[in-house]
């Protein structure tokens, strides 16, 4: 699922010398003080490439995402009508499986938990606000946070990784999405993701 591309990147030297004010703040009653990367056992920066498939089932027997709000046009549409998701103003909450291959039965490596919302009036473009939570090997329990724009009809969409936790503490990067399959009858989608992330 993941491979480390390189060990040191000059632009991230910035972070080595960036004063950190988190560690040891609970030891005494000091609100803020200068810290060092050593206090957090920060290691040299790495670039990791993650590759997985995201499965979004809006309808079906066991939906992985549910429409929780929408504009006036979709108010009376049943939840099984996936076309409502494409209307401006719709909000969907997801807990979507991430797998190593495109088949739904492929090995689970994580989940995408969060919200997407139809935030463009002129095309189908989602605001994506979500956390990937990984389950695989040393990544188990670590998360990456995404905040970006997803114009789902474009061939490749790029969304910023704005942070992370665990192994991905202080992460920054980008996620590239390509639709692998889309069922125009029920809205089920499988999306291929290549995620490039700098972290320690």
Ligand X SMILES: *[C@@H]1O[C@H](CO)[C@@H](O)[C@H](O)[C@H]1NC(C)=O
Binding site for ligand X (CB under 6 A): 55, 57, 60, 62, 64, 97, 104, 135, 140-141, 183, 185-186, 188
Which is closer to ligand X, CB of 59 or CB of 145? 59
Minimum distance from residue 53 beta carbon to ligand X (Å): 9
Which is closer to ligand X, CB of 35 or CB of 59? 59
Q: Please check whether residue 82 is in contact with residue 99, taking contact to mean a CB–CB distance below 8 angstroms.
A: no
Which is closer to ligand X, CB of 101 or CB of 141? 141
Minimum distance from residue 132 beta carbon to ligand X (Å): 15
Minimum distance from residue 79 beta carbon to ligand X (Å): 14
Exposed/middle/buried for residue 190 (C-beta within 10 Å: 0-12, 13-18, 19+): buried
The DSSP code sequence of 113-182 is EEEEEE--SSS-EEEEEEEEEE-SGGGTT-EEEEEEEEETTSSSEEEEEEEEEGGGTT-EEEEEEEEEEE
The token duo for 152 is 């789902």
Minimum distance from residue 196 beta carbon to ligand X (Å): 23
Which is closer to ligand X, CB of 55 or CB of 172? 55
């Amino acid at each position: 699922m993941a491979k480390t591309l390189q060990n040191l990147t000059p632009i991230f030297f910035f972070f080595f010398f960036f004063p950190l004010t988190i560690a040891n703040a609970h030891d005494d009653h000091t609100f803020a003080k200068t810290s060092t990367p050593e206090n957090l056992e920060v290691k040299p920066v790495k670039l990791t490439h993650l590759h997985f498939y995201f499965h979004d089932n809006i309808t079906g027997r066991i939906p992985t995402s549910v429409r929780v709000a929408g504009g006036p046009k979709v108010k009376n549409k049943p939840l099984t009508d996936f076309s409502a998701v494409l209307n401006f103003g719709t909000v969907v909450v997801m807990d979507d499986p991430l797998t190593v291959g495109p088949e739904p039965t492929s090995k689970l490596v994580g989940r995408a938990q969060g919200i997407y919302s139809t935030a463009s009036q002129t095309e189908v473009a989602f605001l994506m606000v979500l956390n990937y939570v990984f389950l695989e090997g040393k990544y188990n329990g670590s998360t990456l946070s995404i905040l970006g724009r997803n114009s789902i009809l474009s061939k490749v969409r790029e969304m910023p990784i704005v942070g992370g936790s665990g192994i991905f503490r202080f992460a920054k990067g980008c996620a590239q999405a390509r639709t692998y399959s889309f069922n125009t009858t029920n809205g089920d989608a499988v999306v291929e993701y290549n995620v490039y992330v700098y972290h320690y």
